[in-house]
């Protein structure tokens, strides 16, 4: 789960990581009042679940409360497109109005899971404020990494080593070291998959401040973070993905026109490969899971059918815990309820396959049955779109 910058900064504050004074605004009037409150100047920052806002008009410095109101007017209610959003952008419903920072230097700091060493890794760079991907590609030696042993945690010698590589003066270095250890606690205690500060600035007075804040949380840990769950902003999520997640269906929206319904993540991946091999493109990844009921299968099919991109459907069910007759019932239920006529190719094997095919065959739906993945691929090719 992603959260907004202002929420990540609330978390940072709880851990003693310095952030600029800021006020959330949802109207131009609030942006104006907030800027007055902050001394008449501010930075207006669009709150969306994506970075790259600076380059895309989502971060604006303003010199008066009136200007804040004007800038807020142009941002609120629009979809902000950045290099990290899709072409449709992300809706701007909230702004973070912050006091202006006096930036002397911009650093980069992040913690993430490094699968290579099977634990967290702390990354720092003096090349903050810009695309870290670019730095990684062109000047990888400018990014310094410390793999952390999750049992012993981040050790003081590791923070000292990183801070030394940043070449900071002693007083600044000691503040930076405190931020790094606090950041590690944020990461572990909140089950984060990513915590990033870009830029972590050094101010003219030599203080260290998190000017930006990004936190990604592990979805599988949310059951033990009720406080963080309150940070969820569904407006920032793909509507179909949000609906699927509420139904506990593993679903990822993709670009193609073949809606895929599969049980099991491995089989779902294989189904995407087969679809691509057929010269077609999948509209989604969908794993309906093992113990699905007809109602759950039906909800999954309805999600697929409500996607306007979907011109054909490929069902690939291996009937084990999810029996083929249950899947068949669910599919028919969804088609009957939506009145859809989207053609479907069904490959079913396993428990109660005869009953499953019988239910689908008798339903009057535009079904083509396939026995193997190759047959399924050929059948998908034959549907004209």
Residues 27-46 that bind ligand GDP (CB under 6 A): 43
Largest CA-CA distance found in the chain, in angstroms, rounded? 78
Q: Which is nearer to ligand GDP, 74 or 174 (CB)?
A: 74
Are the C-beta atoms of residues 306 and 284 closer than 8 Å to each other?
A: no
Pick from ligand GDP, Mn ion, none: which does 57 bind, CB < 5 to 8 A by kind?
A: none
Interface with ligand GDP: number of residues (CB under 6 A): 16
Residues 190/217, Cβ–Cβ less than 8 Å:
yes
Q: Which of the stretches 98-106, 107-115, 286-294, 303-311 binds ligand GDP when contact is defined by CB under 6 A?
A: 98-106
The C-alpha atoms of residue 78 and residue 239 are separated, in whole angstroms, by 17
Among positions 33, 100, 143, 247, the unique one binding ligand GDP when judged by CB under 6 A: 100
The residue range among 49-57, 239-247, 249-257, 331-339 that interacts with ligand GDP, by the rule CB under 6 A, is: 49-57
Beta-bridge partner residues of 146? 122
Q: At its nearest, how many Å lie between ligand GDP and the CB of residue 45?
A: 6
Marked catalytic residue, from 30, 67, 98, 108: 108
Give the DSSP letter of residue 222: G
Is 335 catalytic? The answer is no
Closest to ligand GDP by CB, 59 vs 370, is 59
Partner from ligand GDP, Mn ion, none contacting 100, C-beta within 5 to 8 A by type: ligand GDP
Binder of Mn ion out of 198, 236, 298, 340 (CB under 5 A): 198
**Catalytic site residue 241?**
no
How far is it, in rounded angstroms, from Cα 383 to Cα 385? 6
Q: What sign does the dihedral 57-61-63-67 (CA atoms) show?
A: positive
The SS3 call for residue 259 is strand
Residues binding Mn ion: number (CB under 5 A): 2
CA–CA separation, 23 and 37 (whole Å):
9
Tell me: cis bond preceding 146? Omega within 30 of 0 counts. Answer: no
Q: Give the footprint of ligand GDP on this chain (CB under 6 A).
A: 43, 51-54, 59, 61, 100-101, 103, 106, 129, 198-199, 211-212
């Amino acid at each position: 789960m992603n959260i907004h910058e202002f929420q990540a900064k609330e978390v940072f504050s709880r851990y003693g990581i310095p952030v600029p004074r800021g006020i959330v605004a949802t109207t131009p009037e609030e942006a104006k009042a907030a800027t007055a409150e902050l001394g008449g100047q501010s930075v207006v920052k669009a709150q969306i679940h994506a970075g790259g806002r600076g380059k895309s008009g989502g971060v604006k410095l303003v010199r008066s409360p009136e200007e804040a109101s004007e800038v807020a007017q142009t941002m609120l209610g629009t979809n902000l497109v950045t290099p990290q959003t899709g072409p449709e952008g992300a809706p701007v419903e909230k702004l973070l109005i912050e006091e202006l920072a006096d930036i002397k230097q911009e650093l980069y700091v992040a913690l993430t899971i490094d699968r290579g060493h099977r634990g967290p890794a702390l990354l720092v760079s003096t090349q903050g404020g810009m695309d870290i991907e670019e730095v990684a590609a062109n000047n990888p030696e400018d990014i310094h990494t410390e793999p952390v042993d999750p049992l012993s945690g981040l050790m003081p010698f590791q923070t000292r080593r990183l801070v030394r590589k940043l070449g900071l003066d002693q007083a600044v270095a000691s503040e930076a070291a405190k931020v790094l250890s606090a950041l590690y606690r944020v990461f572990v205690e909140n089950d984060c998959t990513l915590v990033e500060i870009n830029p972590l600035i050094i101010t003219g007075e030599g203080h260290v401040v998190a000017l930006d804040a990004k936190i990604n949380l592990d979805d599988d840990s949310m059951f033990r973070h009720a406080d963080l769950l309150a940070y969820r902003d569904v407006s920032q999520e793909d509507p179909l993905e949000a609906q699927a997640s509420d139904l506990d269906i593993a679903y990822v929206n993709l670009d193609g026109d073949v809606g895929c319904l599969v049980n099991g993540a491995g089989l779902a991946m294989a189904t995407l490969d087969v679809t691509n091999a057929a010269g077609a493109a999948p509209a989604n990844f969908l794993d309906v899971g093992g113990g699905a009921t007809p109602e759950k299968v039906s909800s999954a099919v309805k999600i697929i059918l409500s996607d306007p991109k979907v011109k054909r459907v490929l069902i690939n069910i291996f009937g084990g815990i999810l029996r083929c007759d249950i899947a068949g019932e669910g599919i028919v239920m969804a088609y009957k309820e939506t009145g859809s006529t989207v053609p479907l190719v069904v490959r079913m094997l396993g428990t109660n396959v005869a009953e499953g095919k019988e239910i689908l065959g008798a339903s009057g739906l535009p079904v083509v049955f396939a026995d193997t993945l190759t047959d399924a691929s050929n059948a998908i090719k034959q549907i004209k779109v």
